[in-house]
Amino acid sequence: MNRLSKVIVGVLIILMVLYYIPLPYYITEPGTVEPLEPLVKVEQGYDEEGSFSLVTVYMSKANVYGLVRAGLSDDVRTFKQEEILSPNETDEEYNLEQLRNMDSAKNGAIITAYQKAGKPVNINYKGIYVMAVVPDYPADGKLRVGDLIEQVDGEVLDQQDEFLNLLAEKKVGDSVKFAIERNQKEMEVSLELKLLPSNKPGIGISPMQDLDLSTDPKIEIDSEEIGGPSAGLMFSLEIYNQLTEADLTKGYKIAGTGTIDEAGKVGAIGGIEQKVVAASDADSKIFFAPVDGDNYQDAVKKAEKIKTKMIIVPVETFDDAVEYLNQMD
């Protein structure tokens, strides 16, 4: 091998190392715009001429090239690993949490849409999922992400508020017995309560409500491998549109973002500037942005910067979005 060949091989090796070397950073950038009608199937639901779409942000582990790209583009952002993952949380646990968040978003969307449409929806509360475990707190090493807490000191849980209230009524140092389901096996774990940063007794977990819904008409939602809670508002609009005869889309491409709870309140999300870019690139006519936090202001600033013709609409509740669509020409 001559000298030039050795130099070329050396450069290639360095480039490969720079590509594959793990770095404690993540990068995010504009993702996809996914029409919801193919994903949401209400039995004998009404068709629509336009579309409601969720918008994603693409996130990946950063390499050297990703960091360079982030430095050169306003639409690519860099985050330290600790800004994305909880202490000791793995990528697999994070992805599981995001899929659980999507399940919660779909449930909130179904409940809101069916209630607003005057259709029956029955809620069966099953327990509390463990979505994250805080290091150096009682649950650390005893509970795992994905565990389902079914009882606290023998009391069957119906709703998340009951779980939090049960713990709040106890004292720091109290021993509490938790009945849980893990990998389809029942087990019990006793934990001693510790004072949380909120000045309330707790065990150091991030809880999420688990529930089953039965509806009339029936509904199926295939969210594929999309995770996170931010599609709640758009799912609720798509479901409602299939439940009611009037077509809210009026033939337009409508995108947006925002969490939604069972009362129809829209909450803030992350990455809204990147979602504005993705929605604009997909020729969306309207983009719903939560009033909560700085989401709406950030969306407007980004829309002005990229000079999009897309209309940014502020929403605080599901009703705000429906009211806007009803008055739209």
Torsion of CA 242, 244, 248, 249, to 10 degrees: 20
Which helix (H) or strand (E) segment holds residue 113: the answer is: helix 91-117
Distance, CA of 144 to CA of 255 (rounded, Å) = 36
Distance, CA of 207 to CA of 204 (rounded, Å) = 9
Contact 67, 76 (CB under 8 A): no
Tell me if residue 275 is catalytic. yes
Torsion of CA 265, 326, 35, 294, to 10 degrees: -40
Q: Residues with Cβ < 8 Å from 132, sequence gap 6 or more? A: 86, 89, 93, 97, 145, 205, 206
The residue annotated as part of the active site, out of 230, 236, 280, 284, is 230
HSE (side-chain half, CA atoms, 13 Å) at 57:
24
**147: nearest Cα among 94, 105, 186:** 186
The residue annotated as part of the active site, out of 275, 280, 284, 302, is 275
Distance, CA of 223 to CA of 104 (rounded, Å) = 12
Residues annotated as part of the active site: 230, 275
